[in-house]
Amino acid sequence: MDNIRSLRDVQDEIIRLKKEKDICILAHVYQSHDILEIADYTGDSYGLSVQAAKSEASTVIMCGVRFMAETVKILSPDKKVILSSPDAGCPMAEQIDTSLLAGLKKRYPDHTVVCYINTTSELKTLCDVCVTSASAVKIIKNIENDKILFIPDCNLGAWVKEQIPEKEFAFVQGGCPTHLRMTKNMVLKAKEAHPDAKLLIHPECLPEVSALADYVGSTTGIMNYAKEHDHKEYIIGTENSITEHLQYECPDKYFYPLSKDCVCHNMKLTSLVDVLNCCNGTGGEEIILEDDVREKALRCINTMLELG
């Protein structure tokens, strides 16, 4: 077994290479714990792209999915941006293409088009403003128009609509296949098994699941809630890596995944060795965006900042 490298050896090599080659590593919190340990920044997708823009490193490796690496490139056009695993897409981000959206805009000509950050850069070029799950309510409240076309996640949209009943919303049938695996029945069983646990739910879940939660919020919001509250037990209704990361951060608390199946297979495509290969220049894919696409997508993101 002497020729098998340990996880620690690979991590050490990555840490050495990123210093030598002026690389900043971003890891979305749905990545595995061994990748989070070697990252310069961990967190939600938009927060990571902001951190990358502030970093002085000339190269950024995004351990996540394609739309996240594109967002990094939109905010940091002069940096070399590498997506850790070229096959890591996001099914939700790819549910609507530009021709479908063009048709929707004709159908709802007087609506402001709001897209979730989980969309392709191309799609963002046709949208008025984008939102994150944490900022959606605040930003949509600040839009002057009372008619909103919200894409692509109708479940996140329904949660936002509930909090802004004065506005009129149009949705399309879209959503995250990972979060849609969680059902009301699973919630009832989990509550029965852990009657003292607080239920923390991501708003990409079905409305009947969110309706039973003690807290609904972004991934960062869920992690902060569990870390900041004195409560001992939590049922976690988002991607299962969050349960694992929280166990490391709060060893005196108990975390139960709402569903064993809440695993994003695209997020799990990246391995520690993929990250090493990216550092070595033998893996990953460099993200290239046409200037026109980048500039129009940036406008959509900048409007989010103005309204937020």
Q: Which residues bind ligand SF4 (CB under 6 A)?
A: 65, 90-92, 118, 176-178, 239, 264, 266-267
Q: Which is nearer to ligand SF4, 92 or 201 (CB)?
A: 92
Min dist. Cβ of residue 13 to ligand SF4 (A): 27
Q: Which is nearer to ligand SF4, 67 or 255 (CB)?
A: 67
Please enumerate in sequence order all residues whose Cβ is within 8 A of that of 211, keeping only pairs 6 or more positions apart, or say none. none
Min dist. Cβ of residue 20 to ligand SF4 (A): 31
Min dist. Cβ of residue 152 to ligand SF4 (A): 10
Min dist. Cβ of residue 126 to ligand SF4 (A): 20
Q: Of the candidates 101, 95, 161, which has an alpha carbon nearest to the alpha carbon of residue 131?
A: 161
Min dist. Cβ of residue 135 to ligand SF4 (A): 16
Min dist. Cβ of residue 133 to ligand SF4 (A): 10
Q: Which is nearer to ligand SF4, 22 or 97 (CB)?
A: 97
Cβ burial, residue 297 (10 Å; 0-12/13-18/19+): buried
Long-range contacts, 74-81 (Cβ 8 Å, 24+): 74/49, 74/121, 74/124, 74/289, 74/294, 74/297, 74/298, 74/301, 75/49, 75/50, 75/298, 75/301, 76/49, 76/52, 77/289, 77/294, 79/52, 80/286, 81/52, 81/286, 81/287
**Side-by-side strand order, sheet with 112-116:** 129-131, 112-116, 147-151, 168-171
Report the Cα 217 to chain-centroid distance in Å. 12
3-state secondary structure of 121: helix
Min dist. Cβ of residue 175 to ligand SF4 (A): 8
Q: Which is nearer to ligand SF4, 267 or 304 (CB)?
A: 267
Q: Which is nearer to ligand SF4, 86 or 91 (CB)?
A: 91
Min dist. Cβ of residue 263 to ligand SF4 (A): 9
Q: Which is nearer to ligand SF4, 16 or 265 (CB)?
A: 265
Q: Of the candidates 1, 38, 109, which has an alpha carbon nearest to the alpha carbon of residue 278?
A: 38
HSE toward the beta carbon, residue 118, CA cutoff 13 A: 28
Q: Which is nearer to ligand SF4, 128 or 153 (CB)?
A: 153
Q: Per the structure block, which two tokens stand in for 192?
A: 């029965």
Q: Which is nearer to ligand SF4, 159 or 279 (CB)?
A: 159
**Beta-ladder partners of 27:** 42, 63
